[in-house]
A = this chain, B = another copy of it.
Amino acid sequence: MASAEMQSHDRAATPRLTADRVREILIVDDHPLMCDALALTLKISFGLRNVRTARSLAAAQEQIRNQGAPDAVILDLNLPDAKGAEGLVILRRQIPDVPITMISADLENAMISTAMAAGAQGYISKSLGREALVDSLRRMWEGERVTPDSYQPDHDGEEDAARAELARRFATLTPQQMKILRLICQGKANKEISYELSIAEATVKTHITAIMSKINARRRTQAVLLANSVRLFDPA
């Protein structure tokens, strides 16, 4: 009778899970060593046989399309094709019911809070010890939303809440809108964007209008500032 119904507080979009129902997981990380180390740890500690890996967000997306959704995902924050919160938002869109764990070297408070607001099941440090790692993952897979000990959500409650709300808004962007926003945040003009995506400039404009209405911006420069304020596309 493994602990069921342990979800205490703030479920994301997590279905009822228990850790032992997680049989197949997907690790998305561009660093091969980290990938292997994680996979090995999981196999040993959880007795998992099906540990899939992907080196980039694009590869992960394709693998999910071809092989179906895993039971859980571990996602690096700093992928070559999706730095920052972007990858999380995109993946959540594709598999809304699968718990996604963010993993990263840096433990900045702001980054954690946006990741959690964007629907991550938890956030763990790459430098975590094996036991702590396993324990965190198990708790996540039982439905708990797990953040690092160092994380204090309330260092500035109001500002933090605003950022969380903003992250939620960004999470409603469609894939195409996300692509366009990324290009906007690189300073590109509508015409350039239309060329890169092979669509009409008019279409780009439509998307931009939708984006700005979703994130509550009027000028494109504001959109850039908002995206940067939650580190949607992290340049660092």
Contact = CB atoms under 8 A, between A and B. Distances in A.
Interface residues of A, number: 17
A189 B235 CA distance: 25
Contact of A228 (B188, B189, B228): B228
A29 to B, nearest CB: 23
A111 interface: no
Number of copies of this kind of chain in the complex: 2
Contact of A221 (B217, B220, B229, B235): B220
A80 interface: no
A184 interface: yes
Contacts of A185: 221, 225
A38 interface: no
Nearest to A217: B187
Nearest to A235: B229
Interface of A: 184-189, 217-222, 224-225, 228-229, 235
